[in-house]
Chain A
């Protein structure tokens, strides 16, 4: 049986006053047993400096082939420039799109974000969105966005943690293109609630490194009380299926039966 462990969301760069580099991530990935991580631009690159962020991350991906993939992001208030930059990043190898309503200054119900979702639909790439306690946006706001674009897989990043995680199962149950996220959650409570609501093929593992510790996040996800087949999907299979074939081909599966 082949399988691959994919960490569906991490961030590298400057976060608060910390400089978080690829070596720190790869060390935790190696120790934990994560094959591939999908890397987000840092907060400044997410808010305003998209091109330099994409160049930095795509260079990192090239230096660690098969281990790192990149998210592309753009502030929708840049309008056509945002679309042009996203097109450039996707053509250069970015695997998926991330949006962060808090850093990028919009609410998911506002039409300013629609062109980016239409772009995701055209490129058949998933869109990762942070959720949480306001000022982050809430699970139902993200579910409403996903509902407007039923052809786009939307990942409910952080699953509403902390105090909006109770919303997540309801949002997942009602929105078939919305995907749960294990980050910062616990196997017998929130993770199980998401899987019960969304079904076994609509929850993905992410550590949210460096906010989360890859080793601890993966250990908790491995403790999920599910079958090996479901765990294989949560830990990577589901996310890989959301990626376009040409991106998926860059991820090497390994033979491992001991998830």
Chain B
């Protein structure tokens, strides 16, 4: 099994002027690249009404519920945000949440997020954060969420990006529930993360869904780069299958 742990459900509102593509189109591309499962993160929900967008993400993933795993998001300053977490998990079958502090305009440690983090910890669902970008998304800043909410799994969604990958490695080494998803990184950063970060907490994601073409060639480039890194079969398998399964706590999905 091969998991892509960072894919965005395409915008149906023309956000960023990006084209929409159907789940069938995306599944065809997954098949061609040998990807079995994708964690589908929100995109419209980072800008627009999150509850409505969460419904749309789940609906999109219903095209192949055994292969498309929905993640939700909430509005950080909505006083009922924790209730939306509950609805997402219990009613919609969402398996985790995505947060993008600079797009959603909040500091990762703002008290307004406390009920959200508490509820996510109760449900045992992981949080994937955008990271690698000051002033609201540096790796050590995001890692503080895991430090202050013991047991809550926090994924650095971009491993620090091209300029802060060293900080992402440090964050994962310092905090046992901080994971790294290697999305949008250059080859050297990926090699450094694999060599220096805890190997059982490294994931790979293509960040597909944000390309300017519905053909999503971006996704091809990213997977080709990972497969050309010359990893041992054991390391590769840990990154694309074993670690993602543990991130999702080996629970079956596609049953909701």
- Which residues of A are at the interface with B, using a C-beta cutoff of 8 A? 15-18, 132-136, 158, 161-163, 184, 186-189, 192, 208, 210-213, 215-216, 219-220, 223
Contact = CB atoms under 8 A, between A and B. Distances in A.
Given A163-B133, A215-B228, A132 B163 contact: yes
Contacts of A215: 228
A18 B191 contact: yes
B112 interface: no
19 contacts: A15-B188, A17-B192, A18-B188, A132-B163, A133-B134, A133-B163, A133-B164, A162-B133, A163-B161, A186-B217, A186-B221, A187-B217, A188-B211, A188-B218, A189-B211, A210-B188, A213-B187, A216-B225, A220-B221
A127 to B, nearest CB: 20
Nearest to B187: A213
Nearest to A193: B212
B186 A212 contact: yes
B61 interface: no
A135 B162 contact: no
Given A133-B134, A189-B218, 8 more contacts: A15-B188, A16-B192, A133-B162, A186-B218, A188-B213, A208-B186, A212-B187, A216-B221
Interface string B224-243: 11001000000000000000
Contacts of B11: none
A189 B166 CA distance: 27
Contacts, number: 73
B217 to A, nearest CB: 6
B132 A133 contact: yes
Nearest to B162: A162
A189 B212 contact: yes
By size class, the interface of chain B is 20 to 34
Contacts of B133: 133, 162-163
A162 B132 contact: yes
A135 B134 CA distance: 9
B189 interface: yes
A218 to B, nearest CB: 12
A210 B187 contact: yes
Nearest to B185: A162
Closest 9 CB pairs of A and B: A162-B161, A211-B188, A213-B187, A163-B133, A211-B186, A132-B163, A133-B163, A189-B212, A162-B162
A249 B160 CA distance: 41
A141 to B, nearest CB: 14
B217 A211 contact: no
Contacts of B221: 186, 216, 219-220
A156 to B, nearest CB: 14
Interface in B185-229: 186-189, 191-192, 195-196, 211-213, 217-218, 221, 224-225, 228
A216 B230 CA distance: 14
Nearest to B18: A189
B189 A211 contact: yes
A133 B162 CA distance: 8
Interface in B147-203: 158, 161-164, 166, 184, 186-189, 191-192, 195-196
